[in-house]
């Protein structure tokens, strides 16, 4: 039994070309048959609008209910991306710092890894909460969870290696609760889900919702996994349910953020590399709560998720503003990550980034008179421009370079907010008549003509 491709939210005005739709459909239907999986629900989106979607199979094998794009699936560790956004909101509000040790916010917890290392899975904390939780299926919460967490091992020195930790994100959920003064679930609803209109994303399932299964590897049969598993305080690491449409909007948030939730600079910060997972291939790393996947020349941000009976994946390309979502109600489907990335690559190729059209803007402010134009430093030429309402500089080189953008701090002092020298100061030096004689960036002198370091 298969779902109709036209079910679900209306397609965007720029729908995927028919040839691409056929190719994506074949990939999803082939995977659902080959894995096998009771159902697969997938979508490709551009700027949050679904341009292609397909749902194949059954949401419930016992009743034969056909899966639709509106069915919720558990999304497991994709939940971590929501918890990370909550942490970054509190950081931007000045209520915590990423360099704060955990025990500054959770009394009685002996672990001192920083919040940054916990977000990037380099805390060295053991993977799961103490207590063999995935055998007993008993998950604690509140004070009991914090007491048991004190028994957790520091399996690696903080910052030494990548080590995935559900425990770390469960503890970050407690940080959100303590710092904000409301439970993690309530904070998430008020500050993330509601502002973004994610009405089909929830901690507890909402009908219609798919049943999760273990698919027998040796027979065409399935076994139900626990339908209403409550994972207690570990909810912040993996409790959410969602749909393709909601996750498409979530993927769009990482390309085009809603400033009422997080600023563009902060979302960009979340996608900056922190930890390498596969040090041999350099294809998978972590930012701040986000997995970073390298596929050829592209970097996709997102996360995978697994819960008993469910596997999920969401990835987004910030450059093209495209994303892909893949959900299944099989806990044993191999290849979910690979298929989701294939869908994402094809979406990015089909909808390449459009160059921003140039338009006339206000002229540069008077204080930058004499600053714009060509400068030299260390034998290399740089060009300073007033572009898009900002002071921007870039070396003249054939190699691709991220331009440096500056933010004014006070008279004749600017701070780099992007580029390889991010954080460094730009200082403007003037002569007695007020004219600009040279500039200093990261303490290096810049002159209008090539000079040696001695100025001779």
**Both 262 and 321 in a single domain?**
yes
**Both 235 and 289 in a single domain?**
yes
pTM of the model: 0.90
CB atoms within 10 A of CB 355: 6
Q: Is residue 152 part of a domain?
A: yes
What six digits make up the tokens of 243?
């749909």
- pLDDT, tens digit, 9 for 90 and up, residues 182-236: 999 999 999 999 999 999 999 999 999 999 999 999 999 999 999 899 999 999 9
Q: Which of 324, 354, 384 is at the close of a domain?
A: 354
Q: Is residue 398 part of a domain?
A: yes
CA atoms within a 13 Å half-sphere pointing along the CA-CB vector of 85:
27
**Both 198 and 94 in a single domain?**
yes
pLDDT class of 238 with cuts at 50, 70, 90: very high
- pLDDT, tens digit, 9 for 90 and up, residues 422-433: 999 999 999 999
**Both 290 and 429 in a single domain?**
no
Nearby residues of 431 by Cβ (< 8 Å), 6 or more positions away: 437
Gap between the Cα atoms of 135 and 153, Å rounded: 19
**Both 415 and 279 in a single domain?**
no
Q: Is residue 184 part of a domain?
A: yes
DSSP three-state, residue 117: helix
What six digits make up the tokens of 289?
């709560």
Gap between the Cα atoms of 48 and 251, Å rounded: 7
Q: Which of 331, 354, 377 is at the close of a domain?
A: 354
- pLDDT, tens digit, 9 for 90 and up, residues 329-366: 999 998 999 999 999 999 999 999 888 888 898 999 99
**Both 224 and 280 in a single domain?**
yes
**Both 426 and 317 in a single domain?**
no
> Given this model, what pLDDT does residue 456 score?
58
CATH number of the domain where residue 442 is located: 2.40.128.50
Mean pLDDT of 283-290: 97
The answer to whether the CB of 74 falls within 8 A of the CB of 307 is yes
**Both 236 and 163 in a single domain?**
yes
* Percentage of the chain modeled with pLDDT above 90: 85
What six digits make up the tokens of 381?
């030429």
* Helix orientation angle between 142-149 and 166-180, rounded to the nearest 10 degrees: 130
Q: Is residue 416 part of a domain?
A: yes
CATH number of the domain where residue 39 is located: 3.40.710.10
How many domains does the structure of the chain reveal? 2
Nearby residues of 310 by Cβ (< 8 Å), 6 or more positions away: 73, 74, 75, 76, 210, 212, 225, 327, 328, 329, 330, 331
- pLDDT, tens digit, 9 for 90 and up, residues 128-147: 999 888 999 889 988 999 99
Gap between the Cα atoms of 247 and 313, Å rounded: 9
What six digits make up the tokens of 134?
């995935």
Gap between the Cα atoms of 196 and 347, Å rounded: 23
pLDDT at residue 11 is higher than 80 = no
Would you report the helix, strand and coil content of the chain in percent, each value rounded to 5? 25, 25, 45
**Both 326 and 404 in a single domain?**
no
| φ, ψ dihedrals at 106, nearest 5° | -125, 95
Closest CA to 88 of 282, 272, 223: 272
* Domain that residue 420 falls in: 366-446
Q: Is residue 453 part of a domain?
A: no
**Both 188 and 317 in a single domain?**
yes
pLDDT at residue 37 is higher than 70 = yes
Gap between the Cα atoms of 436 and 99, Å rounded: 39
Nearby residues of 298 by Cβ (< 8 Å), 6 or more positions away: 317, 319, 345, 348
**Both 258 and 392 in a single domain?**
no
Strand partners, 60: 65
Q: Which of 354, 383, 409 is at the close of a domain?
A: 354
Q: Is residue 232 part of a domain?
A: yes
Q: Is residue 289 part of a domain?
A: yes
């Amino acid at each position: 039994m298969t779902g109709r491709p036209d079910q679900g939210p209306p397609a965007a005005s720029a729908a995927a070309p028919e040839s691409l739709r056929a190719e994506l459909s074949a990939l999803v239907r082939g995977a659902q048959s080959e894995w096998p999986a009771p159902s697969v629900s997938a979508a490709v989106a551009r700027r949050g609008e679904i341009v292609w979607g397909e749902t194949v199979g059954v949401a419930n094998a016992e009743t034969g209910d056909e899966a639709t794009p509106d069915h919720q699936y558990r999304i497991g560790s994709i939940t971590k991306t929501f918890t990370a956004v909550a942490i970054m909101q509190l950081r931007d509000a000045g209520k915590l710092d990423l360099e704060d040790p955990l025990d500054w916010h959770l009394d009685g917890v002996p672990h001192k890894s920083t919040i940054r290392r916990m977000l990037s899975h380099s805390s060295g904390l053991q993977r799961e909460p103490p207590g063999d939780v995935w055998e007993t299926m008993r998950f604690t919460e509140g004070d009991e969870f914090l007491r048991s967490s004190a028994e957790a091992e520091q399996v690696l020195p903080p910052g030494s290696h990548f080590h995935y930790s559900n425990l770390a994100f469960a503890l970050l959920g407690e940080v959100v609760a303590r710092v904000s003064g409301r439970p993690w679930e309530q904070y998430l609803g008020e500050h993330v889900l509601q502002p973004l209109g994610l009405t089909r994303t929830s901690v507890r399932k909402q009908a219609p919702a798919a049943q999760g299964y273990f698919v027998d590897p040796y027979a065409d049969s399935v076994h139900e996994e626990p339908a209403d598993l409550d994972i207690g305080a570990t909810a912040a690491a993996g409790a959410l349910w969602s749909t393709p449409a909601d996750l498409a909007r979530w993927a769009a948030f990482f390309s085009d953020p809603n400033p009422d939730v997080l600023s563009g600079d902060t979302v960009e910060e979340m996608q900056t590399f922190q930890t390498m997972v596969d040090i041999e291939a350099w294809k998978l790393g972590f930012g701040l709560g986000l997995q970073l996947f390298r596929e050829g020349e592209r970097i996709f941000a997102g996360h995978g998720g697994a819960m008993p009976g469910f596997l999920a994946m969401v990835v987004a390309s910030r450059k093209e503003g495209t994303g892909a979502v893949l959900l299944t109600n099989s806990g044993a489907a191999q290849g979910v990550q690979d298929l989701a990335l294939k869908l994402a690559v094809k979406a990015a190729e089909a909808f390449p980034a459009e160059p921003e059209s140039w338009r006339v803007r206000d002229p540069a402010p008077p204080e930058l008179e004499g600053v714009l134009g060509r400068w030299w430093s260390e034998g290399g030429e740089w060009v300073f421009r007033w572009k898009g309402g900002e002071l921007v500089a870039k070396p003249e080189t054939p190699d691709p370079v991220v331009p440096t953008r500056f933010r004014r701090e006070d008279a004749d002092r600017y701070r780099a907010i992007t580029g390889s020298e991010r954080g460094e100061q730009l200082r403007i030096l003037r002569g007695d008549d007020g004219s600009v004689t040279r500039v200093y960036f990261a303490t290096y002198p810049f002159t209008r003509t090539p000079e040696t370091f001695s100025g001779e």
